[in-house]
Amino acid sequence: MSSPKFEEFLSKVTSKVKSKKAHNMIKKELTHHLQELSQSYKKRGFSEEDSDEKAIQEMGNPFTIGEKLNPLHKPKMDWVLIVLFVIFASISFLPLVDGIPEFSLSGAYFMGRQAIWYTLAILVIIGFLFIDYQKLKNGWIYFYTIGLLIHIYLHLFGIMTNGAKKWVSLPGLTVDVSMMSLFFFFLAWAGIFNKINEYRSLKKQGLLFVLFWIPISLYMMVPDFMVGTIYFFCLLGMFTFARVHKKLAIKLVVTNLIAGAIFVIMIIMTSHQSYLFTRLSAFINSYSDPNGAGYMYMAVRNVLAEAGWFGNGLSNEFDFQMLPETHTDFAFPFLVYSLGWAFGFVLCLILLIFISRISKNAFKTKDLYGRMIVIGGATLFAVPTTWNILMSFGVVPIMGVSLPFISYGGSAILFYSAVLGLILNVYRRKDMVEPTIAEFK
């Protein structure tokens, strides 16, 4: 228990620190130093009162200390991520310059819509930037429930498009609610991983097992294989850095590997998953069905082959019938075709910087829950970015996946904006929250 003298000293220190959130953390740290100093004086034979007094004198002027600590505990903003976001937003308008012929609408129409989406995106980022993210950590069950309710609503009122029932019609727009559910599952699991070591009993481990596999099953039912894949890698990333006790980690890994093997066998043996097999067979050998499932692989290959180092210009004679969806799933090959491989390499480099920057930020916070949010968020950006680019080169199967912040589409833009807002929020408060990671060793 701190002495009244210590309390007075600490109050003077924190009076110069504007961030009230950081006061408790500063008091705990300084109290520890004061007590150590006081103990050292007691061992030399000084009385308790004199020891406390000398400890305070050795610490120095409390107001000077507070003034030095104040800038260290101010909210921080990662301006690099903000600048990169603006760059991506600007690039996203390029595939829309000449419009989208398959919709018979002008470029001005789509650019106007994209401008509206990015206006909303900025508001979403600001909204998630200034909330106290730590207040979300204990609400995992509510977020998980919302994710489940979204799928129930999707099952009842969803719109079937291109073989997937993942869209819901709202007044004036159509929303990809499959991605919305992913956001809530992501938040739920960040909260679960924050206290994963409390799930040591067999009953609680069974609960984790069920909670993990339900969303995957739901995404397979949509079917939305890409979102299911993103969900899987997001959880894998958080699990890797969640500081799970060794025995618990082994049990969870072994159990889910066995379940995963059974799940894959069930998919192989289930005939209604023929859509997936068609895509995989086309990926393995696109020439086996050049006018069917293999057509897109060959079309992308031809587009990239005609790109050249500096491209054909944005206003070119590109055959949109040859490669549709150049504003969404195939924005990358279209940009390479139009602006050249030089632009493509620079774009890949900028995307790499963006993802690596987020990943590094994860380890700048000592709050486990904040770290889980940033690591999960980095994965939510890394998986679709990597997949979208690699599928353009035929390295992975072609799936319906947008390039974050670059592909056209309001649902995806708002989804990634919410994730980015939370990532910036954690970075902003990294010097204002009490460390929790040290508790897990």
* pTM, full prediction: 0.87
List C-alpha distances in Å: 368 to 26, 30, 152, 381, 431: 19, 22, 32, 20, 13
163: left (phi over 0), alpha (psi -120 to 50) or beta: left
**Residue 60 and residue 58: Cα distance in Å, rounded?**
5
pLDDT at 293 over 70: no
Return d(Cα 191, Cα 424) in angstroms, integer.
18
The number of residues in the chain equals: 441
Range in 192-196, 197-201, 284-288, 367-371 the model is least confident about: 284-288
Tell me the sheet residues that pair with 174. Answer: 169
Type and span of the H or E element at 77 = none
Average pLDDT over residues 128-134: 91
Mean pLDDT across 1-9: 74
The answer on pLDDT for 440 being more than 60 is no
Average pLDDT over residues 336-343: 91
pLDDT digits (tens, 9 = 90+) for 85-130: 999 999 999 888 776 666 666 667 888 889 999 999 999 999 999 8
Tens of pLDDT along 302-330? 888 888 888 887 776 666 566 777 788 88
Burial class of 434 by CB neighbour count within 10 A (0 to 12, 13 to 18, 19+): middle
pLDDT above 70: residue 284: no
